[in-house]
Chain A
């Protein structure tokens, strides 16, 4: 006999959304010059949540100007301890409004409320809390006795962790004394707009934070704007390369956090139940919309069969459905476009000879959904083993020796993250030394912390977010450096 879970939906009442939002420039919500707007929908139900302004080139000008004015006239000269207090205020308001933010994030993004409530929002607040403490301690960061802010930072963030990515970008920038113009992703603008309200509640000086909503055109205008001193981008490697070409020959500082195709490596002595949980967390957390997702499972050949049995059994217990339900494990795919991309890549896996498997899984009738999917018999040359899928699709490969595991794990142009599962300490460190990836999770996966630097090797980008390196990305050495 089976026990069904009763529905346990989170209430939406706490989310008080306006029907339309303008651009947040110079401390005010303003209408865009062009008067254009787009709708943001819930990917779980396809209902329209709000209408959001499209920022054009003139709006980008206006926002960069507002950020410059705030930088020159207020923010750069404000003592660090005063900047710190604004950031602490923001951290506190994020905590105070965490439930509302979690609900809005889940509505707009489609991720399970459990994840936005327990991961996205608390981590976003923690980032502000962490970097607030740096604002008045910059001479102690090891970057010279008198590190200086860069100026106006243009920041473009993705849709997978909207508020958290905003926090990763804005908190260190402001702590270091920069002002920012941030563009959230077109499919998930709402928590950034709530964040604009939070800046108002915190009495943050006008222009220190500016939020421009829009799509790729807006992002292009922003990162290519001559009034910008620093560009920070998180998103696809393809767009990252486009930004590199746009900024070629300029002195604009740049950090890029791009795609990944992480290997999650399981040795024959690994604690298998723990490893199964880690594999599931590695690729099905946030529907696999994670740049550091453990999308390539490398299993030591001798334990492949028992591991696959346990993994399949575990996947059968994942609950896919209403993201607002507190028992949901897998929510909606963020957009129809992303669903099409995942579908096409999964189809290519079958076409290239891999074996596809999904648990029994009923998909809701409206919205964008993709069942957790596992591929075996995967050759390294296939698209599902090489390309970032950014969805709940796991490719399983095998290895025999540690050397082979390292070679296969590193056989990718990416280098963002990797996982290692083994009970042997010396082997963990041996592997950690050889994996060409910016983050190595050993006997765990997908952990994040403001004190812990995060970012990639190779085509996964450069620069780090979190810790002192995350601060250094927004500072130049002073005249005495």
Chain B
């Protein structure tokens, strides 16, 4: 059946604290598809939007980090269910954004959904792998548990637009962190659609805050922000890493460096443990 009606286009907005604001700066930038044609005007987030996102992420941290691992796993799995339901939409968007063939777009979206499911299952297992009961000398019960680092800023991979994003966000929030994500600069539209999925899942507002805009404008402020505990530089060029790490030193942020990554391979636990702290608790044993 021919499309003889005029389509209803979507306004692509930011996702901050569970709401969908435009940039406070009122700016947008043009997103073009793989073949160079106009796709949309995405919001061009400002440094103020980034700071507002940090506030939202900090506010969400206490309750999200205190949720049970089972609960967080359930919520993440629910996100995967919703992703599955929107699969064809994501395939279209990923194909348009990256200029991918339908088969490649199918593959990316399938992998992204499966990746989300894979991480969801880790929620109540990572403590068994990264924690321990420690056999100390003397009459003490001593155990170590992994805990979330706090608020994590993320520069998402520039591509693949959806799989890269999912691969960095899921491990961060699964363990109880909250985050501020700068989406792929050139291909941010699948990220905006993902934020719509997150908003209609049971994920509390503020756990993931998603910004579209220019990495060069947003990354330095997030790297220097004193209420951000860690930063994942997956999507930045190596040439700016030194400057960002320099800024991140101000409050001893944990920094995950960009590296050559095949996003289609088994990710291992490295992205989970990168944003975990080990807490060790001692108590005397006695009657």
A residues with a Cβ closer than 8 A to B are: 126, 142, 144, 237, 240-241, 244-245, 247-251, 256, 258, 413, 428, 432-433, 437-444, 447, 449, 451-455, 457-462, 464, 467-469, 477, 481
User: B6 within 8 Å of A by Cβ?
Assistant: no
B144 nearest CB neighbor, chain A only: A453
The count of A-to-B residue pairs whose CB atoms sit within 8 angstroms is 111
For the complex formed, measure the closest distance between the CB of B155 and the CB atoms of chain A, giving whole angstroms. 15
B254 nearest CB neighbor, chain A only: A462
B268 touches A454 (CB 8 A): no
User: Given A251-B257, A447-B138, A453-B144, is A437 in contact with B251 using a C-beta cutoff of 8 Å?
Assistant: no
B251 touches A451 (CB 8 A): no
A468 touches B246 (CB 8 A): no
Cα distance A250–B249 when bound, in Å? 14
Q: Which of B132, B150, B283 contacts A468 (CB 8 A)?
A: B132
Q: Which of B252, B270, B278 contacts A438 (CB 8 A)?
A: B278
A449 touches B252 (CB 8 A): no
A244 touches B136 (CB 8 A): no
B136 touches A449 (CB 8 A): yes
B136 touches A457 (CB 8 A): no
Cα distance A258–B277 when bound, in Å? 15
- The count of residues in chain B whose C-beta lies closer than 8 Å to any C-beta of chain A is 37
B280 touches A453 (CB 8 A): yes
A462 nearest CB neighbor, chain B only: B254
Please indicate which of the listed interface residues A144, A240, A454, A469 has the most CB atoms of chain B within 10 Å of its own CB.
Answer: A469
A453 touches B278 (CB 8 A): yes
- Encode contact with A along B240-257: 1 for CB under 8 Å, 0 otherwise: 011111101111101001
Cα distance A245–B246 when bound, in Å? 5
Given A249-B243, A451-B134, A462-B277, 16 more A-B residue pairs with CB atoms under 8 Å apart are A248-B242, A256-B252, A428-B283, A433-B66, A438-B277, A438-B279, A439-B280, A442-B283, A453-B144, A458-B229, A459-B251, A461-B252, A462-B252, A464-B278, A467-B132, A467-B144
Chain B hits for A241, CB < 8 A? 249-250, 252
- Encode contact with A along B114-148: 1 for CB under 8 Å, 0 otherwise: 00000000000000010010111110101010000
25 A-B contact pairs sorted by A residue (CB < 8 Å): A240-B252, A241-B252, A245-B246, A248-B241, A248-B248, A248-B249, A249-B241, A249-B243, A256-B252, A428-B283, A432-B279, A432-B281, A438-B279, A439-B279, A440-B279, A442-B281, A444-B283, A449-B137, A449-B138, A451-B136, A451-B142, A460-B252, A461-B252, A467-B132, A481-B268
User: B282 within 8 Å of A by Cβ?
Assistant: yes
Chain A hits for B268, CB < 8 A? 144, 477, 481
User: Given A438-B277, A451-B134, is A248 in contact with B252 using a C-beta cutoff of 8 Å?
Assistant: no
Cα distance A413–B252 when bound, in Å? 10
User: Given A248-B246, A451-B136, A458-B229, is A237 in contact with B282 using a C-beta cutoff of 8 Å?
Assistant: no
B249 touches A126 (CB 8 A): no
User: B7 within 8 Å of A by Cβ?
Assistant: no
Chain A hits for B245, CB < 8 A? 244-245, 247-249
A458 touches B242 (CB 8 A): no
Chain A hits for B136, CB < 8 A? 447, 449, 451-452
A443 touches B284 (CB 8 A): yes
Cα distance A440–B283 when bound, in Å? 9
A254 nearest CB neighbor, chain B only: B255
Q: Which of A244, A413, A442, A460 contacts B282 (CB 8 A)?
A: A442
Cα distance A432–B284 when bound, in Å? 14
Chain B hits for A460, CB < 8 A? 252
A442 nearest CB neighbor, chain B only: B283
For the complex formed, measure the closest distance between the CB of B249 and the CB atoms of chain A, giving whole angstroms. 4
Chain B hits for A462, CB < 8 A? 252, 254, 277
Chain B hits for A451, CB < 8 A? 134-136, 142
Chain B hits for A440, CB < 8 A? 279-282
Chain A hits for B134, CB < 8 A? 449, 451-453, 467
For the complex formed, measure the closest distance between the CB of B281 and the CB atoms of chain A, giving whole angstroms. 5
A449 touches B142 (CB 8 A): yes
User: Given A452-B142, A458-B229, is A126 in contact with B282 using a C-beta cutoff of 8 Å?
Assistant: no
B136 nearest CB neighbor, chain A only: A449
Cα distance A369–B223 when bound, in Å? 42
Chain B hits for A237, CB < 8 A? 252
Chain B hits for A142, CB < 8 A? 129
Chain B hits for A126, CB < 8 A? 137
For the complex formed, measure the closest distance between the CB of B49 and the CB atoms of chain A, giving whole angstroms. 25
Cα distance A271–B260 when bound, in Å? 55
Cα distance A139–B271 when bound, in Å? 20
Chain A hits for B149, CB < 8 A? 457
**6 nearest CB pairs, A to B:** A249-B242, A248-B245, A244-B249, A449-B136, A248-B246, A442-B283
Cα distance A111–B257 when bound, in Å? 41
Cα distance A413–B134 when bound, in Å? 28
Chain B hits for A144, CB < 8 A? 268
For the complex formed, measure the closest distance between the CB of A420 and the CB atoms of chain B, giving whole angstroms. 9
User: Given A248-B241, A248-B249, A468-B132, is A444 in contact with B277 using a C-beta cutoff of 8 Å?
Assistant: no
